[in-house]
């Protein structure tokens, strides 16, 4: 019998069995079931249709209103109202509305709602973010969310795994975003289809928690079922005094089976941009200096965390955004927004000519707060650049790190950031 990967150990434990193998179907207990203002109303409808009348545990359901909140139109208001009424009637303790909410995948780790060893489903494809804490987390449809809220269970096919062995240390003008864009450029948008992307090696210690959250967030852009990092001193320090449940630490067996091992030397990573219209279409930022842009977005569940705000501040402070460039900066949570205010970042962003928003997914999915017109180009720290993703089908989205996005805001062209 082969050993198990980290992901396989977590799902085996939650399925109440000693061993699982890739391809096996299992029924697993859930620690957290997550939904947002777009997916929860659909789940609520399915929940009622199935005849459920209670949630399995009011403390293990999380509903975060983050896509169109504050509400942008009547439809968004109706969707949010459905969420509010459901959360109220079932006494859902983790309900986040205007003034408390943040972008869900920035908020849940920050608030300690997710922890190491958890099995988590969310009706949002970027739920795979929480693998940064050593949890198994994956996106599901709203019907699965409904069943999960009612029963506390979900079925999975146990994924096989690809190991990414990380060595070295990132250059100072690169971040986790450059790492994951580089990887997706290497393996493609279906390179890890229904597989677990497991990150290992001495280089892990050189990545911050914000780097790891960003990397796991975009595992889905390579088709992965989940992304996961080992629990080390940085993870434990991050979770200490934060998590509401005791972390359970799993590690892969020495003889765990991986479909392949890919070596990544972090020292070789360069500022990377994903060009339209797929995340796999990556090029070094230095090769794109002739591409003129109209808009810059710094934020999202991928790059709206404190280190992302710090990178933008360092680059934009005492500078001016280029004429004709719209720069939109969206801190990921109210706590991050508050810290940006207290540290003077918001003043610096405004002085540079940017707008700063309350937390929202807004422009990432072409929702609001920065829709593109035909022919317009945006460089964004978001996670998807499909046709029409941020507005008009004839617009273009370039994905990049906060360093590259902020540097581009100052020139009006895609620009590699180089430290003075």
pLDDT tens-digit series, residues 367-420: 999 999 999 999 999 999 999 999 999 999 999 999 999 999 999 999 999 986
356 in the same domain as 229: no
Helix (H) or strand (E) holding 118: none
Tokens representing residue 291 in the block? 């591409």
Angle at 384 between CA 381 and CA 389, to 5 degrees: 110
- Domain assignment of residue 336, yes or no: yes
pLDDT tens profile 290-316: 999 999 999 999 999 999 999 999 999
Query: Stretch 169-189: mean pLDDT, rounded?
Result: 97
314 in the same domain as 168: no
* Confidence tier at 7 by pLDDT (50, 70, 90): very high
319 in the same domain as 188: no
295 in the same domain as 167: no
137 in the same domain as 257: yes
DSSP structure class, residue 377: E
Give the residue from 215, 242, 264 where a domain finishes.
264
Number of structural domains found in the chain: 2
What's the rounded Cα separation, in Å, for the pair 232 and 68?
Answer: 36
106 in the same domain as 227: yes
215 in the same domain as 331: no
Q: Which of 80, 72, 133, 75 is nearest to 105 (CA)?
A: 133
Domain range holding 172? 9-264
- Domain assignment of residue 418, yes or no: no
pLDDT tens profile 71-80: 999 999 999 9
What's the rounded Cα separation, in Å, for the pair 48 and 60?
Answer: 19
Can you give the pLDDT at residue 1?
80
Give the residue from 203, 230, 264 where a domain finishes.
264
281 in the same domain as 241: no
**To 10 degrees, what angle do helices 209-217 and 176-187 make?**
30
Helix (H) or strand (E) holding 54: none
- Domain assignment of residue 160, yes or no: yes
Can you give the pLDDT at residue 118?
98
Q: Report helix, strand and coil shares of the chain as percent, to nearest 5.
A: 35, 20, 45
Are 333 and 361 within 8 A, CB to CB? no
Query: Stretch 190-216: mean pLDDT, rounded?
Result: 97
Q: Which of 362, 307, 364, 381 is nearest to 339 (CA)?
A: 307
Give the residue from 230, 264, 298 where a domain finishes.
264
Can you give the pLDDT at residue 419?
81
Query: Stretch 113-135: mean pLDDT, rounded?
Result: 97
Using DSSP's 3-state secondary structure scheme, residue 53 falls into: coil
Q: Give me the CATH number covering residue 336.
A: 3.30.499.10
Can you give the pLDDT at residue 304?
97
- Domain assignment of residue 189, yes or no: yes
- Domain assignment of residue 304, yes or no: yes
What's the rounded Cα separation, in Å, for the pair 368 and 72?
Answer: 7
DSSP structure class, residue 159: P
328 in the same domain as 290: yes
pLDDT tens profile 35-72: 999 999 999 999 999 999 999 999 999 999 999 999 99
48 in the same domain as 193: yes
In the predicted model, what is the mean pLDDT of the chain? 97
148 in the same domain as 44: yes
pLDDT tens profile 314-338: 999 999 999 999 999 999 999 999 9
pLDDT tens profile 233-290: 999 999 999 999 999 999 999 999 999 999 999 999 999 999 999 999 999 999 999 9
């Amino acid at each position: 019998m082969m050993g198990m990967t980290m992901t396989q150990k977590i799902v085996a434990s939650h399925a109440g069995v000693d061993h699982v193998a890739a391809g096996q179907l299992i029924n697993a207990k859930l620690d957290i079931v997550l939904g947002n203002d777009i997916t929860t109303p659909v789940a609520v409808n399915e929940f009622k249709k199935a005849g459920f009348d209670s949630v399995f545990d009011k403390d293990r359901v999380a509903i975060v209103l983050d896509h169109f909140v504050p509400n942008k139109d009547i439809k968004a208001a109706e969707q949010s109202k459905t969420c509010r009424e459901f959360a109220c009637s079932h006494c859902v303790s983790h309900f986040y509305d205007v003034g408390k909410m943040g972008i869900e995948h920035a908020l849940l780790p920050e608030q300690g709602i997710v922890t190491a060893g958890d099995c988590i489903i969310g009706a949002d494809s970027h739920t795979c973010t929480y693998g940064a804490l050593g949890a198994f987390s994956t996106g599901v449809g709203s019907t699965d969310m409904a069943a999960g809220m009612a029963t506390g269970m979900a079925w999975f096919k146990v994924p096989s795994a690809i190991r990414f062995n990380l060595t070295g240390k990132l250059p100072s003008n690169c971040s986790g975003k450059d790492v994951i864009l580089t990887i997706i450029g290497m393996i493609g948008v279906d390179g890890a289809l229904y597989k677990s992307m497991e990150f290992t090696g001495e280089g892990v210690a050189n990545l911050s928690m914000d780097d790891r959250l960003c990397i796991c967030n975009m595992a889905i852009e390579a088709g992965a079922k989940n992304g996961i990092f080992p629990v080390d001193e940085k993870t434990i320090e991050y979770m200490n005094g934060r998590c509401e449940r005791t972390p359970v630490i799993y590690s892969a067996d020495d003889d765990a089976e991986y479909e392949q091992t890919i070596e990544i030397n972090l020292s070789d990573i360069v500022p990377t941009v994903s060009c339209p219209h797929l995340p796999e279409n990556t090029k070094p930022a230095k090769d794109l200096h002739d591409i003129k842009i109209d808009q810059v977005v710094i934020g999202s569940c991928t790059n709206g965390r404190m280190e992302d705000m710090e990178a933008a501040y360092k680059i934009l402070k005492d500078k001016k955004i280029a004429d004709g460039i719209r720069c939109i900066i969206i801190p990921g949570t109210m706590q991050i927004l508050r810290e940006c205010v207290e540290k003077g970042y918001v003043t610096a962003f405004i002085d540079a000519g940017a707008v700063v928003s309350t937390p929202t997914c807004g422009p990432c999915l072409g929702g609001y707060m920065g829709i593109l017109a035909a022919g317009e180009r945006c460089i964004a720290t978001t996670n998807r650049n499909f046709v029409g993703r941020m507005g008009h089908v004839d617009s273009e989205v370039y994905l990049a790190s906060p360093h590259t996005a902020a540097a581009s805001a100052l020139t009006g062209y895609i620009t590699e950031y180089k430290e003075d």
